[in-house]
Amino acid sequence: MLSGYFARLPLTDRITFAREIWAAVFYGVFAGLALPLIPIVARRIGMSPAGITVMVTMQFIGALFGILFGHMADRRKKMPFVIWPAIAGRVMIGLLIFAQSPAVYLILVSVFFLTVNLGGPAYASIMRSNYSDANRGRLMGNIRIVIVIVAAAFSLLAGILLGRNERFVRWLFLAASAFGILSSVAFARVRVRQGPDFPRDAPSASLLHSLRTVRRNIPFLLFMGILVLCATPDKLAVPLEPIWLVDFLHLGYGEASFLLGTVVSVASIAGYFLWARALKRFNSFAVLSVVAFLFAARFASLALARASSQLLPMSILSGLTNAGWDLVPIFCIITLADRSNFSLYIGFHTTLFGMRGIIGPSIGTFLNSSGALPITGIFWVIAAFIACGAGLLMAFSRRRGVRAPARIRIS
């Protein structure tokens, strides 16, 4: 069956996908063993809430460098920009076996989170060059399904091992680090396709000159503005959701494992399958608008919940929309971006993501602590803004010429 599946793919798609599957399997092991444990161990060894906040915020700080890394990846070989930040971060997870104090743990995990988004622009560019338009959505979706399945299985295995002896946790970090590094090594075997749109030696240009090129792409900037309306409001809920789930809905450990772990994972698999197929048949901006409408519904369902037993719709919508936000925006940017500066465009998007992640939680905390709005009121505001952004996305998708972005001549 697999041989028939691979035989239907073009040669470059087939080779890239076969090698990326191994990277996905190894990364799934890494994610399943390490990622769920990071905040739990941090709290167990005595890290303060402020320290945990700093630790998690580092991924958004790292994302601020997206423009710089995207600019550099467009003018050099792209693979090192994917591989080396990933290896550096995963080595930090292995070093947690020696972290006995909260301070050392904070430093190591912060470096890991700092590197999480650095390779994103170059990775997206490789996916654009190596996968054909007809198969890109389906293949990228399938890779993510593999990651989710493997991560869920090894997360369950980690839970069983830790249930027998919690001292295994340090060794799980070491094992996860090894598989994470193997994932990077496996992905490094992918040969980046070169062609007229992806020259080996792109012309030299300053970052400022490249940003001017982005500035002249009016449809792209308009899309980024709409995306701010769709993807910023949910960041307000980052510090508030745990409070709502634990203090008000009294979500227990068993329920959390099922609703936020198992249900979300299964829904994510369904989401990757659904969105990948939708991208092949429909306008990517229309698909993203549907993702955003469902995202608004997620926060509405969370606001309506009055008991932990009522969180099932939120969990299902979380999985579906997580998959959508992971996959679909890349295809929207592919439609709008200049071919020779694609990594820069992804980097611009990544930098805005970092800015939203830093600013949003502070606004949410202020609104709640100041008494301006209750938590449910904030959830409703989030849902309303996202729904407005989804409507604008739908209107944007119907604009004439959206597939051929307008340019202003550079004199």
| pLDDT tens by residue, 218-247 | 999 999 999 999 999 999 988 888 888 878
Higher-scoring residue by pLDDT: 185, 160: 185
Give me 99's structure tokens. 């972290």
405 domain residue, yes or no: no
Question: Among the three residues 191, 226, 255, which one is the final residue of a domain in this structure?
Answer: 191
The answer, yes or no, to whether residue 404 has pLDDT greater than 50, is no
122 and 34, same domain (yes or no): yes
Residues 6+ apart with CB under 8 A from 26: 179, 180, 182, 183, 186
Shared domain for 151 and 233, answered yes or no, is no
Q: If we measure between CA atoms, which residue out of 44, 358, 379 comes closest to residue 241? A: 379
| Residue 407 domain flag | no
Q: Is residue 83 part of a domain?
A: yes
Shared domain for 98 and 160, answered yes or no, is yes
Final residue before a domain boundary, out of 160, 191, 222: 191
Residue 1 has pLDDT above 90, yes or no: no
**Domain annotation covers residue 64:** yes
Which of the residue ranges 82-91, 313-322, 365-374 would you say has the lowest mean pLDDT?
Answer: 365-374
pLDDT of 80 strictly over 90: no
Shared domain for 239 and 325, answered yes or no, is: yes
pTM above threshold 0.85: no
Domain identity same for 167 and 269: no
pLDDT reading at 195 higher than 90: no
Which of 191, 213, 243 delimits the end of a domain?
191
Give yes or no: residues 113 and 216 share one domain: no
The per-residue pLDDT for 400 is 43
- Do 102 and 5 share a structural domain? yes
179/187 Cα distance (integer angstroms): 12
pLDDT higher than threshold 60 for residue 170: yes
pLDDT above 90 covers a percentage of the chain that reads: 36
Residue 405 is predicted with a pLDDT of 41
Shared domain for 156 and 207, answered yes or no, is: no
Note whether residue 410 is domain-resident.
Answer: no
CATH number of the domain at 272, please.
1.20.1250.20
Pick the most confident of 8-12, 23-27, 240-244: 23-27
- What pLDDT is stored for residue 121 in this prediction? 85
In a domain, 55, yes or no: yes
Residues 131 and 224 occupy one common structural domain = no
Mean pLDDT, residues 203-224 taken together: 77
- Same domain? For 272 and 362 the reply is yes
Range from 113-122, 192-201, 398-407 carrying the lowest mean pLDDT:
398-407
pLDDT(67) > 60: yes
Q: Say yes or no to pLDDT of 120 above 90.
A: no
Residue 406 confidence class, pLDDT cut points 50, 70, 90: very low
Mean pLDDT of the chain: 84
Mean pLDDT, rounded, for 371-393 = 95
48 and 95 fall within a common domain: yes
More confident residue, 114 or 37: 114
Q: Is 196 inside a domain boundary?
A: no
Total tally of structural domains belonging to the chain: 2
Residue 143 lies in a domain: yes
Which residue segment(s) compose the domain that 377 sits in? 203-399
Residues 267, 380, single domain; the answer is yes
